[in-house]
Structure 1
Amino acid sequence: MQSRKRVLVKFSGEALAGETGFGIEDSILKFIACEIKELILNDIEVGIVIGGGNIMRGALAAKGGLIKRTSGDHMGMLATVINAIAIQEALESYGLDVRVQSAIQMEAFCETYIMRRAQRHLEKGRVVIFAAGTGNPYFTTDTTAILRAVEIDAQMVIKATKVNGVYDKDPKKFDDAVFLSTLSYDDAMKDSIKVMDDTAIALAKDNALPIVVCNMFESGNLLKIIQGDTSLCSIVKN
């Protein structure tokens, strides 16, 4: 029976690129490693899903018409594996025990995703990074994050972004944007908000899984939120 807190943290691939917009920045890897290590030291079980947008986005790759959407999405899945291995290396350099599990079999690089094995890793205090999306095209890494969180029985999904939470409209474009500390799943699917894609939100709603949106670049944010400080984030729930 699960006794410790278990969470899944979703990072965007773009966040790894920093100001350059492409590739992986060492300073951000180190920052993420420090934040995750703090969670492990506080006896919190951690799963991670990382996007691949800093390297490849399937939908964008397919826009020109030369690359099919399915192939573009497969390329995006491979990008998430690259990012997962980078985060694994960073976490291990800080003394953490880490496993990467891929939805697509690639034994030379990582384990193939098996739900019970992932749960066992978490119980042993290992960080598990879920790579290659769901293994299927047309599904985002947001949907992957919710799916894996449900499968491993996580108590919440934390979407770590570049902003401190959710607003009723884009705060970068509108000075009168209003911060939303809590919102319903239906509100989270509105076009003006779009916390995650509709498939991800619907799956979270069906399983009453809270989604927390916070600023990943505020040191200590993740731990404070998991410990109950809701002033630092927005929460999507029933």
Structure 2
Amino acid sequence: MSTKMKGRMDPAVSPVVGVLLMLVVTIIIAAVVSGFAGGLVDNKDKTPQASIDAILTQSTTFGNEYELVFKHLGGDPINTKNVQLITTWTNSTGVTNYQRTSAPSYNDTTSFEYRSGSESNYTLSELNTHYSYNGTDTYYNEPYLVVPGDTPADGTGLETELWWGNYIFKSGDVAKISTTNMGLEKDYTAIWGSGGVQSENEATPVIKNFQYLTENDILNVKLIDSLSGGTIYEKNVNVRG
């Protein structure tokens, strides 16, 4: 009798087990596909994580004027090509000064001299630093990567490689916005040995209306990842005397 019952139960049990197995397999495949797709999205849109500091202080390059210095203290390397630098500050009357800095676009068909004898294919109107000295025009994009003994448009060493948008900002690196970019007028007589020559940035400065900042004003600085839209870094920087 037991044998007969077993024989009757087998046909009923087998379809149920088969359906359950198919359901389990389907769930596993769906989970694997979902995890893989999620991993692709996470990798594509991940915001770089890094420890950075920003200081707005008196310039070590141009005497008693100011410069904004970024220091990468550790964490992910940051491709400045994919980063928006945003600066904001509000004056005593409540007027907010906002400025966004991006990487310049590369143009294969058009070139220009970013300094005498040196050409570049980056879109001139997108470079944020333009000044003249003794009749020579110079163009580049800040913040520039600090390399000892080199500057971003001096005709020697690294040139466009130091421009914002063209370098990877990694642990130990320093990037700088010099006073030339701040929209300030500066007498270079004592530095360059040329009588009464003045230079002023004629392009869009990194900090709007910087010349009106006073000691103890607060400058908000943000680094935004263009790919993910996430904030890499933000700090309220106190203007130091």
TM-score, L = length of structure 1: 0.27
Q: Which has the higher helix share?
A: 1
Q: With CA pairs under 8 Å and 6+ residues apart, which has the higher RCO, 1 or 2?
A: 2
Q: Which has the higher strand share?
A: 2
Greater Cα radius of gyration, structure 1 or 2? 2
